[in-house]
């Protein structure tokens, strides 16, 4: 073993140099200094992240972290990048669940589902890449218009049902279906986002410990109680989305998540016709059946709901409605209309 001071070659078991007496520490006993990486909480517009993603703008933020519109320089395309919060990324088991769930989510290829790409790490920060959809999320559309016309509601809901049917067929349940997770693109196509993410988080119900899966206002009774969640839980959430689209309000509202959870478990929603007389009895029936407390009393599949909506649609005359618009991000003014067969909306920012 070579002395670090005089470079004399000593026997391998030497503790001191036989030539100069300097202490010799075997390499295996030298402590390794771990380089601490500080996870990022946000990305700067105009910067480049992970060597390939040019940050164009922040699109929104949620319980998991912030979402950015980025330009991927390796594939020359715009995509969405979700930067996971450091406190979530610090849990190795959660990250491993993310990775496993995304493997399944990547297998879902459908026109009404936003594609998930990958989970990666850069300088201590974990991030998820996914398809970028140019358009407006359904939550913003409802806020903007109040109550959506029946043709608009049915067109969007039918497409969501198609996406759910494909995912459920592959054994994937969304678990956090809500209007802000549904994008409407420039052509009027509804796209469900964030498949494969909610299941990865720890949960023990709305009243238990851990990170809650789902948003209280859209959670099924069984989800509130941390019971088994399956496709009929997504159907309950879809019922709330239908209720909100047609009435402009949620069926259950309270000051705290706990109070909302109690209402989801025990209270019967008011008939949506009380808030919008234009809703037909058939559509009201569909909404309230989705919101049954017992899973067995709900529709058993998204395909069943789609069939019901198609029958209702046949009895509605074609109507046109100009969409109220905020200032678009493009210089070209966009004027669009709704009708029964297709829903078109302006290309606005993804939140």
pLDDT digits (tens, 9 = 90+) for 52-85: 999 999 998 877 889 999 999 999 999 999 999 9
Give the pLDDT band (50/70/90) at residue 41: confident
Pick the range with the lowest mean pLDDT from 178-192, 203-217, 234-248, 262-276.
203-217
Question: What percentage of the chain has pLDDT greater than the value 70?
Answer: 78
Average pLDDT, the chain: 83
Can you give the pLDDT at residue 220?
A: 96
Which comes out higher in pLDDT, residue 234 or 333?
234
**pLDDT at 271 > cutoff 60:** yes
Can you give the pLDDT at residue 120?
A: 94
Can you give the pLDDT at residue 326?
A: 43
135 phi and psi, to 5 degrees? 165, -145
Per-residue pLDDT tens for 43-56? 999 999 999 999 99
**pLDDT at 193 > cutoff 60:** yes
- Is residue 116 within 8 A of residue 106, CB to CB? The reply is yes
Give the pLDDT band (50/70/90) at residue 1: low
Q: What's the rounded mean pLDDT across residues 156-183? A: 94
Asked about 13 being catalytic, the answer comes back as: no
**pLDDT at 33 > cutoff 60:** no
Q: Where does residue 226 fall: left (phi above 0), alpha (psi -120 to 50 degrees), or beta otherwise?
A: left
Can you give the pLDDT at residue 196?
A: 65
| SS3 label, residue 81 | strand
| SS3 label, residue 225 | coil
Which comes out higher in pLDDT, residue 345 or 228?
228
153, 320, 184, 311 alpha-carbon torsion, rounded to 10°: 40
Q: What's the rounded mean pLDDT across residues 21-29? A: 59
- Is residue 55 within 8 A of residue 83, CB to CB? The reply is no
Which comes out higher in pLDDT, residue 241 or 35?
241
CA–CA separation, 288 and 270 (whole Å) = 9
Can you give the pLDDT at residue 135?
A: 92
Can you give the pLDDT at residue 106?
A: 82
- Catalytic residue (choose from 107, 137, 176, 234): 176
Which comes out higher in pLDDT, residue 316 or 25?
316
**pLDDT at 8 > cutoff 90:** no
Give the pLDDT band (50/70/90) at residue 313: very high
Can you give the pLDDT at residue 341?
A: 43
Instruction: Count CA atoms within 13 Å of residue 291 on its CB side.
Output: 27
- Is residue 25 within 8 A of residue 36, CB to CB? The reply is no
**pLDDT at 166 > cutoff 70:** yes
**pLDDT at 177 > cutoff 80:** yes
């Amino acid at each position: 073993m070579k002395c670090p001071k005089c470079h004399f070659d000593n026997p391998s078991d030497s503790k001191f140099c036989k030539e100069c007496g300097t202490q010799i520490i075997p390499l295996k006993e030298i402590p390794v200094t771990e380089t601490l990486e500080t996870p990022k909480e946000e990305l700067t517009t105009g910067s480049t992240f992970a060597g390939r993603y040019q940050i164009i703008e922040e699109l929104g933020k949620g319980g998991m972290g912030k979402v950015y519109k980025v330009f991927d320089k390796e594939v020359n395309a715009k995509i969405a990048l979700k930067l996971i919060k450091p406190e979530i990324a610090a849990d190795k088991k959660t990250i491993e669940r993310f990775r496993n769930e995304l493997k399944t989510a990547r297998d879902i290829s459908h026109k009404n589902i936003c594609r998930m790409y990958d989970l990666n790490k850069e300088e201590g920060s974990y991030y998820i890449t996914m398809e970028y959809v140019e358009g407006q999320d359904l939550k913003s559309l409802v806020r903007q218009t109040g109550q959506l016309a029946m043709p608009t509601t049915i067109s969007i809901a039918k497409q969501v049902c198609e996406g759910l049917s494909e995912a459920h067929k592959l054994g994937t349940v969304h678990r956090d279906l809500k209007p802000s997770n549904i994008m409407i693109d420039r052509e009027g196509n509804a796209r469900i986002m964030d498949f494969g993410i909610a299941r990865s988080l720890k949960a023990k119900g709305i009243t238990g410990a851990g990170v809650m899966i789902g948003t209280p206002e859209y959670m099924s009774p069984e989800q509130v109680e941390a019971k088994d969640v399956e496709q009929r839980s997504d159907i309950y959430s879809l019922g709330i989305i239908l209720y909100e689209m047609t009435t402009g309000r949620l069926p259950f509202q309270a000051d705290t998540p706990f109070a909302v959870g109690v209402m989801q478990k025990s209270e019967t929603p008011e008939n949506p016709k009380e808030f919008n007389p234009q809703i037909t009895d058939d559509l009201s029936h569909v909404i309230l059946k989705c919101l049954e407390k017992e899973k067995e009393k709900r529709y058993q599949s998204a395909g069943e709901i789609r069939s019901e909506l198609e029958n209702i649609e046949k009895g509605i005359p074609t109507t046109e409605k100009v969409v109220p618009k905020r200032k678009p991000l493009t210089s070209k003014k966009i004027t669009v209309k709704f009708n029964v067969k297709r829903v078109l909306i302006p290309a606005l920012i993804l939140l």
